[in-house]
Amino acid sequence: MRNFYKAGRSVTYGLTGAVATSNTQASQAALSILKSGGNAMDAAIAACAIQCVVDPMQTGIGGDCFALVAMGGGGEIEGLNGSGKAPMALTADYLLSNGMDKMDPTNIHSVTIPGAIDAWTRLHEKYGTMDFADILPPAIDYAENGFVVTQRTSVDWEGAVGKLLKNKAASDIFLKNGKPPAAGTVWRLPKLAATLKAIAKQGRSAFYEGDLAEQMAESLKAAGGLHEADDFAATSADFVTPIHSEYQGHRIHQIPPSGQGITALIMLNILKRFDLDGLDPNGAKRLHLEAEAARLAYLARNKYIADPTKADVPTEMLLSDEFAEHLCGYIEVGKAGDPTGADALERHRDTVYLSVVDKDRNAVSFINSLFQDFGSGIACPQTGVIFQNRGFGFVVEPDHPNCVAPGKRPMHTIIPGMVTKNGKAAISYGVMGGGYQPVGHAHVLTNIWNYGMDVQEAIDSPRAFYNAGTLEVEEGIPDNVRAELTAMGYQLMDTAMPLGGGQMIAIDPDTGVLSGGSESRKDGCAIAY
């Protein structure tokens, strides 16, 4: 339990329903839907749509969406991979012949086709209860009539000005006289409102067929892309069977590749082979073991993870006890390991994750993202849509399983999480933050299971991130711990901004009490009733 003499947040408790998002307006709207009779999926889509308006650098309808779902609170978890694909005309040979031997996050060829709207509509068709047209009006209202820019959002917005200025449509939509809005500013996105109205009325077809699709394809081609309207029409999210691993009697579920969720499971498979109990949760030995698990798990991710419909991904091997034991052989306790190749992708902070549990204990773990701040920075002037840069997750190496190819999904960073125990949903959770996410998942779960933290403490606890030979540490890591880590051989660096952002809802199997935690590093909240 928190120290009430210190600033912080308490756990949010409820018996009927709970929501946790990184924006208060989104949390309020989701709770309103639950109270009016909608279910967890209705509430999750409504909340995400709002964040696509009010947190436009974090997420948008020009991005992708993944979800894990536990209907009725049962242990059978269902998943959806709603990530878009490369345009059919894009090949590695084309990029190499044009002087691109690696993906550039602001290049037009990093723009994959948006998968989010297709994902929302498919999730709604399978799990939702309200009319789809009744889910989007709160987001439409914020886009059309204005929303107030929050503090963390204003900071992230300001950090993206340089990118936005490179594209006229993006700067016209998201800047005023070349300047971003300050906290407390009212901002409107009327073109996005019109697009959302069309989606509310016509569903998926409004976005992927007809005028909107043609306008988006034309804007991408005008920027030098190979995108066609047919690429939009062919977009299809896939329902998938989640992968899982075990830790202290719990089963942790993740979306399978092309997502990086398997990286979190590899980390946990390594960590459970060490005695974490009794260690200082903010101490050098705990952070050292977490860093080494991350180093090895990310090496495996970068070598193997790709679109399984286009490449052979050895998922069973990667999750095996034998592989975990093999990786543990590369850990020397008390000494930093060889960092060669352990690159988690450029760290960034731009994604929204949210969790919802309803009265029937339907639990939804939901994540939506543009990848980096404002994605590619390329916007469609007619629709108000800014496009993701998920293609940055590809490599341009013809023999690599994750090499860019027509109609292929890139290795993807966004990962929702779900935990079950004894055949029941126990925790719906996620930690946003690009390449950091697998570390965040392992960190918050071990905070609970090894150190007895509640869901809010587990989220608030200081973080560190081992990435490409550097151990990034937050302010909360004490100086003596930093000195110990340096003595072990780690190169430390202060984080420019806090690492990631989490949301979590736990379900007590005996009492039915819902416990919600929300990221203090963001602007949102958990609400329950």
Q: pLDDT value at position 343?
A: 58
Retrieve residue 281's tokens. Answer: 């949760």
User: CB burial class (10 A; 0-12, 13-18, 19+) of residue 45?
Assistant: buried
Q: Which sequence positions are flagged as catalytic? A: 351
Using CA atoms of 245, 251, 252, 254 in order, give the dihedral in degrees to the nearest 10: 70
Measured over the CA atoms of residue 329, residue 335, residue 340 and residue 344, the dihedral's sign is: positive
Measured over the CA atoms of residue 29, residue 30, residue 34 and residue 38, the dihedral's sign is: positive
- For residue 299, what is the enclosing H or E element? helix 284-304
3-state helix, strand, coil in the chain (%, to 5): 35, 20, 45
Retrieve residue 187's tokens. Answer: 């901002």
- Round to whole Å and give the CA distance between 412 and 414: 6
Q: pLDDT value at position 515?
A: 98
Retrieve residue 399's tokens. Answer: 């023999």
- Round to whole Å and give the CA distance between 464 and 481: 12
Print the SS3 string covering 77-106: CEEEEECCCCCCCCCHHHHHHCCCCCCCCC
User: CB burial class (10 A; 0-12, 13-18, 19+) of residue 197?
Assistant: middle
Q: pLDDT value at position 509?
A: 93
CB 51 within 8 A of CB 24: no
Retrieve residue 455's tokens. Answer: 């869901």
Retrieve residue 470's tokens. Answer: 């550097």
Closest C-alpha to 211, from 189, 226, 233: 233
Q: pLDDT value at position 350?
A: 63
Q: pLDDT value at position 496?
A: 85
- The DSSP secondary structure of 188-206, one letter per residue, reads --HHHHHHHHHHHHHTHHH
* Residues 282, 286, 291: CA angle, nearest 5 degrees: 110
- For residue 18, what is the enclosing H or E element? strand 18-21
Place of tokens 């650098």: 57
- Round to whole Å and give the CA distance between 127 and 442: 29
Q: Can you tell me whether residue 48 is helix, strand or coil?
A: helix
Q: pLDDT value at position 349?
A: 52
Half-sphere exposure of 284 (CA within 13 A, CB side): 18
Retrieve residue 347's tokens. Answer: 């760290």
- Round to whole Å and give the CA distance between 56 and 189: 10
Q: pLDDT value at position 254?
A: 98
Print the SS3 string covering 446-515: HHHHCCCCCHHHHHHCCCEEEECCEEEECCCCCHHHHHHHHHCCCEEEECCCCCCEEEEEEECCCCCCEE
Per-residue pLDDT of the chain (529 residues; tens, 9 = 90+): 777 777 788 999 999 999 999 999 999 999 999 999 999 999 999 999 999 999 999 999 999 999 999 999 999 999 999 999 999 999 999 999 999 999 999 999 999 999 999 999 999 999 999 999 999 999 999 999 999 999 999 999 999 999 999 999 999 999 999 999 999 999 999 999 999 999 999 999 999 999 999 999 999 999 999 999 999 999 999 999 999 999 999 999 999 999 999 999 999 999 999 999 999 999 999 999 999 999 999 999 999 999 999 999 999 999 999 999 999 999 999 999 987 655 555 544 568 999 999 999 999 999 999 999 999 999 999 999 999 999 999 999 999 999 999 999 999 999 999 999 999 999 999 999 888 999 999 999 999 999 999 999 999 999 999 987 899 999 999 999 999 999 999 999 999 889 999 999 999 999 999 999 999 999 899 999 9
Phi-psi category of residue 407: left, alpha or beta, with phi > 0 → left and psi -120 to 50 → alpha = left
- For residue 130, what is the enclosing H or E element? none
